[in-house]
């Protein structure tokens, strides 16, 4: 039979269309074939940006001998985790139950009913001396197990299903008190890497939601250690190789604790959340480096990860240009650096970015990751460094660039639009607002259907029905409402949150399901209800929903939104202390619920003038739990309310600035 992936819209599936494996996309047809032929299923879940997915493709799935085994003994299904996060979430839990870890590529072996009985992540093609079995060995063992020990397969599948069912419901009731915030901050302090910044050890991931949470706590408490955690973490990432010093933006994570050597893929969701973090860091702390980093993220997104004419943000940029190069596009040999730059700028760049004959990349020891080891030696070298970076960008632009996935996923478009509205204010770049609003208009006009909800990809009918699309969109609509004062955005946000209540809300027990409530269709685990609240890897849908409910209450004074917020938080109140760093979005909602909200109202004529200036100042100012309302009136005036205490009206930006301090 032929490989069935060529006609799929997913870039990841299309990239495997040439393989000799008889791949199916996720479909009832694939499961029906497995039942008819009584074969186990090989499920491969990955993404077009995933380095190790490309490695396993090149080593195993492109190999005719491996394909022969797979085509004879298995029905093979390939899934794009960006297209189907609902499938990925469930099968990640299953493999984690087996091995203690997940990730991509996810390699799972299923019964024809879709139950996992064995799995892992990346498998090398051959057995290696460190005990990791080769993929061919695994395939033979699994096929033999399925044929000869069906009772053992059934027993394993049953145990894993029980774990998946339990773990997918992350709701745990509990009282909401300020002590939750204190306990979570203390837990994050214990995870903080005091030497290199960030949380935990290698591999080291950015945790922008955790940084945002601690910055808000510092603003309220003025405890020095909280500021130190935020400042050291943001500074260390900004100086590390995880940041693309040449082109702007951040790679997905660092393989070392010092932030030097990254996994080079660059993701929309990471950069949207990091953009928020650096904008907040600059607005709150006034550190120029943080503004520079935010500008770099915006510039990279505009240049590489968006279509400003059509009004969409793209998904990702690959780590590699081709199989086996391991980040060669992003790294430099000493000779490449010398060829790209004049003599004086070469020496400055070499010292600042620690470029030497021997670099950090194992596959090619001459390749160097650019990381900021030391500042230029004097004032005269700073302009030379700026020239060097421009020269390196020009040289890198002549290289073949890694693939950019142009699929406009709705949740990530909403997240980036939110970040760009934030950037438009803090960086005073109106073009950011224009692009963000164009994207959000497309989301509303092309993806929203009043009867069927949001599609997952702008401009495509399927897939649809994912909670995360339905909460990230109204969150961004509220940002648009605050940025423009246009009531239509508030109305749209309210419309969507009412839809979420009708479609995803669990009235009996509280919380939102990740798929429409009572959905009995779907294969295997897809029929299992899930209430996700962990931030993994994007902000959790239930956490975002809670923050959105809090903002709606603050913006409208409608007590129904507060009632829903309290119910939502009570549903997950017992999980919040346990999740700590991994539940930072939910903790932000707890913060909104237990601490006073700042409400800034600006009235006055539209267009240039004091009201416009005060509106921009209100949007730029850092305060946790802040909402901004823009009203039209004859006279310019602003009021600031903190909790139930309100100021007298002021009429100038200077006076408003004093109030906000």
pLDDT tens-place string over residues 481-491: 999 999 999 99
User: Which residues contact residue 498 at a Cβ distance below 8 angstroms, ignoring those fewer than 6 apart?
Assistant: none
Separation CA 235–CA 225 (nearest Å): 15
The mean pLDDT value for 616-639 works out to 97
- Which of 64-73, 248-257, 323-332 is predicted least confidently? 323-332
Considering the domain architecture, whether residues 19 and 88 belong to the same structural domain is answered as yes
Considering the domain architecture, whether residues 254 and 267 belong to the same structural domain is answered as yes
Count of Cβ atoms closer than 10 Å to residue 235 Cβ: 17
| CA count, 13 A, side-chain hemisphere, 152 | 9
SS3 string, 462-475, reads: CCECCHHHHHHHHH
Separation CA 424–CA 271 (nearest Å): 15
Considering the domain architecture, whether residues 158 and 185 belong to the same structural domain is answered as no
Considering the domain architecture, whether residues 412 and 460 belong to the same structural domain is answered as yes
Count of Cβ atoms closer than 10 Å to residue 467 Cβ: 28
Considering the domain architecture, whether residues 119 and 184 belong to the same structural domain is answered as no
Considering the domain architecture, whether residues 271 and 293 belong to the same structural domain is answered as yes
> Do residues 433 and 421 touch, judged by C-beta distance below 8 A?
yes
Considering the domain architecture, whether residues 372 and 410 belong to the same structural domain is answered as no
Q: What is the CATH number of the domain that holds 48?
A: 3.40.30.10
Considering the domain architecture, whether residues 23 and 142 belong to the same structural domain is answered as yes
pLDDT at position 26 is 96
pLDDT at position 1 is 62
Q: pLDDT band for position 238 (50/70/90)?
A: very high
| CA count, 13 A, side-chain hemisphere, 17 | 12
Beta strand 116-120 pairing with 106-110: antiparallel
Considering the domain architecture, whether residues 132 and 233 belong to the same structural domain is answered as no
The residue among 558, 410, 566, 407 whose CA lies nearest residue 477 is: 410
- Position of tokens 């493709």? 57
pLDDT tens-place string over residues 108-148: 999 999 999 999 999 999 887 666 789 999 999 999 999 99
Q: What is the CATH number of the domain that holds 507?
A: 1.50.10.10
Number of domains observed in the structure of the chain: 4
Give CA separation, 531 vs 87, 212, 454, 516, 564, in Å: 14, 24, 19, 11, 16
Instruction: Supply the range of the domain harboring residue 392.
Output: 328-401
Backbone angles phi, psi at 458, to 5 degrees: -60, 125
pLDDT at position 471 is 98
Among 386, 401, 416, the domain-final residue is 401
Q: pLDDT band for position 640 (50/70/90)?
A: very high
526 or 436: which leads in pLDDT: 436
Q: Is the pLDDT of residue 592 over 70?
A: yes
Q: Tell me, yes or no, whether 455 lies in a domain.
A: yes
Considering the domain architecture, whether residues 339 and 310 belong to the same structural domain is answered as no
Among 362, 382, 401, the domain-final residue is 401
Separation CA 547–CA 625 (nearest Å): 10
Q: pLDDT band for position 520 (50/70/90)?
A: low
The mean pLDDT value for 565-577 works out to 96
pLDDT at position 132 is 75
pLDDT at position 30 is 95
Among 563, 594, 625, the domain-final residue is 594
Count of Cβ atoms closer than 10 Å to residue 498 Cβ: 11
Considering the domain architecture, whether residues 435 and 314 belong to the same structural domain is answered as yes
Q: pLDDT band for position 512 (50/70/90)?
A: very high
Q: Is the pLDDT of residue 2 over 80?
A: no
Q: pTM above the 0.85 mark? A: yes
Separation CA 296–CA 393 (nearest Å): 13
Percent of the chain at pLDDT > 90 equals: 94
> Do residues 13 and 78 touch, judged by C-beta distance below 8 A?
yes
Considering the domain architecture, whether residues 472 and 392 belong to the same structural domain is answered as no
The mean pLDDT value for 562-585 works out to 96
Give CA separation, 432 vs 295, 440, 492, in Å: 11, 12, 21
Q: Is the pLDDT of residue 334 over 70?
A: yes
- Position of tokens 């609902």? 86
Q: Tell me, yes or no, whether 173 lies in a domain.
A: no
Give CA separation, 144 vs 64, 115, 125, 138, in Å: 20, 17, 19, 10
């Amino acid at each position: 039979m032929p490989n069935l992936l060529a006609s799929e819209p997913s870039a990841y599936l299309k990239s495997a269309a040439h393989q000799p494996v008889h791949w199916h996309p996720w479909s009832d047809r694939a499961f029906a074939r497995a039942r008819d032929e009584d074969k186990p299923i090989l499920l491969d879940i990955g993404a077009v940006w995933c380095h190790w997915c490309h490695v396993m493709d090149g080593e195993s799935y492109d190999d005719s001998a491996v394909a022969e085994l797979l085509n004879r003994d298995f029905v093979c299904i390939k899934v794009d985790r960006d297209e189907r996060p609902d499938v990925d979430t469930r099968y990640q839990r299953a493999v984690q139950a087996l091995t203690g870890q997940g990730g991509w590529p996810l390699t799972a072996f299923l019964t024809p009913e879709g139950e996992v009985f064995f799995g892992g992540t990346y498998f090398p093609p051959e057995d290696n001396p460190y005990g990791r079995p080769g993929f061919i060995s695994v395939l033979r063992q699994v096929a033999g197990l399925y044929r000869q020990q069906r009772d053992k397969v059934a027993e394993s599948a049953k145990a894993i299903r029980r774990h998946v069912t339990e773990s997918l419901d992350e709701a745990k009731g509990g009282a909401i008190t300020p002590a939750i915030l204190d306990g979570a901050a203390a837990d994050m302090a214990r995870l903080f890497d005091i030497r290199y910044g960030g949380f935990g050890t290698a591999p080291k991931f950015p945790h922008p939601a955790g940084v945002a949470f601690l910055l808000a706590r510092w603003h309220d408490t003025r405890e020095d250690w909280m500021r130190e955690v935020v400042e050291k973490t943001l500074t260390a990432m900004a100086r590390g190789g995880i940041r693309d010093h040449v082109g702007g933006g951040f790679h997905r994570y660092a393989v070392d604790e010092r932030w030097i050597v990254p996994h080079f893929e660059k993701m929309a969701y990471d950069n949207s959340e990091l953009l928020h973090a650096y904008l907040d860091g600059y607005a709150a702390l006034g550190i120029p480096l943080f503004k520079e980093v935010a500008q770099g993220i915006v510039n990279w997104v505009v240049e590489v990860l968006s279509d400003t004419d059509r009004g969409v943000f793209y998904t990702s940029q690959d780590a590699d240009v081709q199989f086996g190069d391991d980040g060669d596009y992003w790294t430099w040999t000493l000779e490449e650096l010398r060829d790209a730059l004049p003599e004086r700028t070469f020496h400055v760049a070499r010292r600042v970015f620690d470029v030497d004959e021997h670099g950090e990349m194992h596959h090619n020891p001459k390749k160097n990751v650019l990381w900021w080891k030391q500042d230029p030696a004097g004032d005269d070298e700073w302009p030379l460094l700026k020239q060097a970076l421009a020269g390196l960008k020009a040289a890198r632009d002549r290289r073949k660039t890694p693939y950019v996935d142009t699929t406009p996923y709705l949740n990530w478009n909403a997240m980036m639009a939110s970040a760009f509205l934030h950037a438009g204010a803090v960086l005073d770049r109106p073009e950011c607002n224009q692009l963000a609003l164009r994207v959000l208009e497309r989301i509303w006009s092309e993806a929203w259907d009043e009867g069927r909800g949001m599609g997952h990809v702008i401009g495509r009918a399927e897939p649809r029905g994912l909670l995360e699309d339905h909460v990230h969109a109204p969150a961004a609509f509220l940002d648009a409402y605050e940025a423009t004062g246009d009531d239509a955005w508030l109305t749209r946000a309210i419309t969507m949150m009412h839809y979420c209540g009708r479609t995803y809300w669990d009235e009996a027990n509280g919380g939102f399901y990740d798929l429409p409530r009572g959905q009995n269709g779907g294969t295997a685990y897809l029929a299992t209800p899930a209430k996700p609240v962990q931030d993994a890897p994007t902000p959790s849908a239930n956490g975002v929903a809670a923050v959105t409910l809090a903002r709606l209450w603050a913006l409208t004074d409608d007590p129904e939104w507060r009632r829903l917020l309290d119910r939502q938080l009570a549903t997950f109140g017992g999980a919040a202390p346990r999740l700590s760093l991994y539940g930072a979005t939910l903790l932000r909602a707890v913060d909104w619920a237990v601490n006073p909200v700042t409400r800034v109202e600006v009235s006055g004529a539209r267009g240039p003038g004091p009201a416009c200036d005060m509106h921009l100042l209100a949007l730029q100012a850092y305060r946790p739990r802040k909402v901004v309302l823009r009203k039209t009136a004859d006279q310019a005036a602003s009021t600031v309310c903190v909790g139930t205490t309100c100021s007298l009206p002021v009429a100038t930006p200077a006076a408003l600035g004093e109030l906000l301090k």
